[in-house]
Amino acid sequence: MPSIVKTLKIVADPNRLRILLLLKGEELSVAELQEILGMGQSTISTHLSQLRQAELVEDRRTGKSNFYRLATAGDSGPDSVLHHLLSQAETEIPEAAHDQAAMRHVLRKRQDKTRAFFDSVAGRLGKDYVPGKSWKSLAEALLRLMPPLVVADLGAGEGASALLLAQRAKKVIAVDSSAKMIEVGRDQALRNGVKNIDYRLGDMEEIPIGDGEVDLVFFSQSLHHALHPERALAEAARILVPGGRIVILDLVRHRFEEARELYADEWLGFSEADLESMLQNAGFAHVETTIVDKEAEAPQFQTLLAVADKKN
């Protein structure tokens, strides 16, 4: 743990303080910090190196980039001093409001990159290979559904799952951030005469559904596309009725880095322990996780099923 004197010395630099304010709420890469702050790469890297040496920030490797975030805070000592300083700096640093606005723009660009990928493959997902999507894993999830329900299919894509769910559900609200995916899904529902699917354009971290409107939330190979999976799960809890259920199909954590470029993946899957922890933190109980499928071909993606209930 760094000393309080060292912490004060490090954060005395206004630019390092600006970086800390940004990393307080988001993980950001050097390139993203450059764009937000308008500083050179070497300057940003030098500041980050000093902050990391002082144990004020930590990083994780993601593909070819390092993402930085504020180090885990404690309840006393330098950590509490730092958080007090940051709360004061939010109103005293002249550039702070601009930096936050610039950061929101950068994060939208991240989301746009994912959205552009799905726009480009709309209408082809049933024909092209998508890791982790299998009839076996989907059947495992569907067996746990208790019809008739109002279901939210989040990250619905072209609506393959929504069409299946609609056969037994009262209503399916299919949400996706790609306008082209929504268009394809609506066309498929129309061609199949399915009238109980409501397609809505929106992000899984800001779901266009009211509080407590659905009985079941379903994520099918979509959570790893969220910038902040924990926020998506908190939103899922918000739209569920008390006692409502969440079902997640996703990839088990893997090391196939090419998935970021090939499939616009933000996260390389999740471990059972991490997913269970995120669900519990989002307000879910009775969490069950199971690995339900493993592909024979390299890189041998595995499919993770998680089921939980919203606390009453």
Domains, the chain, ordered by start? 4-113 (1.10.10.10), 135-310 (3.40.50.150)
**pLDDT score of 125:** 60
Q: Are 212 and 242 in contact (CB under 8 A)?
A: yes
Structure token pair of residue 5:
């004197």
- E strand or H helix at 182: helix 179-191
pLDDT tens for 249-300 read: 999 999 999 999 999 999 999 999 999 999 999 999 999 999 988 998 999 9
pLDDT at 78 over 90: no
* Distance of alpha carbon 13 from alpha carbon 23, whole angstroms: 16
pLDDT at 76 over 50: no
209-221 average pLDDT score: 97
**pLDDT score of 126:** 62
Q: Write 71-77 long-range contacts (CB < 8 A, 24+).
A: 74/1, 77/1, 77/4
* Distance of alpha carbon 37 from alpha carbon 19, whole angstroms: 8
Least confident of 1-15, 102-116, 204-218: 1-15
**pLDDT score of 281:** 96
pLDDT at 143 over 60: no
The predicted model scores a pTM of 0.69
| DSSP labels, 231-273 | HHHHHHHHHEEEEEEEEEEEEBP---TTHHHHS--SS--B-HH
Q: Rounded to an integer, what is the distance from CA 291 to the centroid of its chain?
A: 20
* Beta partners for residue 216, in sequence order: 151, 245
Q: What is the largest CA-CA distance in the chain?
A: 69
pLDDT at 19 over 60: yes
Q: Rounded to an integer, what is the distance from CA 177 to the centroid of its chain?
A: 13
DSSP state for residue 150 in the 8-state scheme: E
Least confident of 25-34, 144-153, 232-241: 144-153
* Distance of alpha carbon 44 from alpha carbon 36, whole angstroms: 11
Q: Are 307 and 144 in contact (CB under 8 A)?
A: yes
In the block, tokens 């926020």 appear at 231
Contacts of 71 (CB under 8 A, 6+ apart): 55, 56, 57, 58, 79
53-67 average pLDDT score: 86
In the block, tokens 């595995």 appear at 302
**pLDDT score of 75:** 45
Work out the mean pLDDT of the chain and round it to a whole number.
89
The highest-confidence range among 66-75, 130-139, 274-283, by mean pLDDT, is 274-283
51-78 average pLDDT score: 79
Q: Are 18 and 62 in contact (CB under 8 A)?
A: no
Q: What percent of the chain has pLDDT over 90?
A: 63
pLDDT at 1 over 70: no
**pLDDT score of 64:** 77
pLDDT tens for 80-132 read: 778 778 888 888 888 988 999 899 988 888 888 888 888 887 877 666 677 88
More confident residue, 275 or 164: 275
CA geometry: angle 43, 49, 12, nearest 5 deg: 75
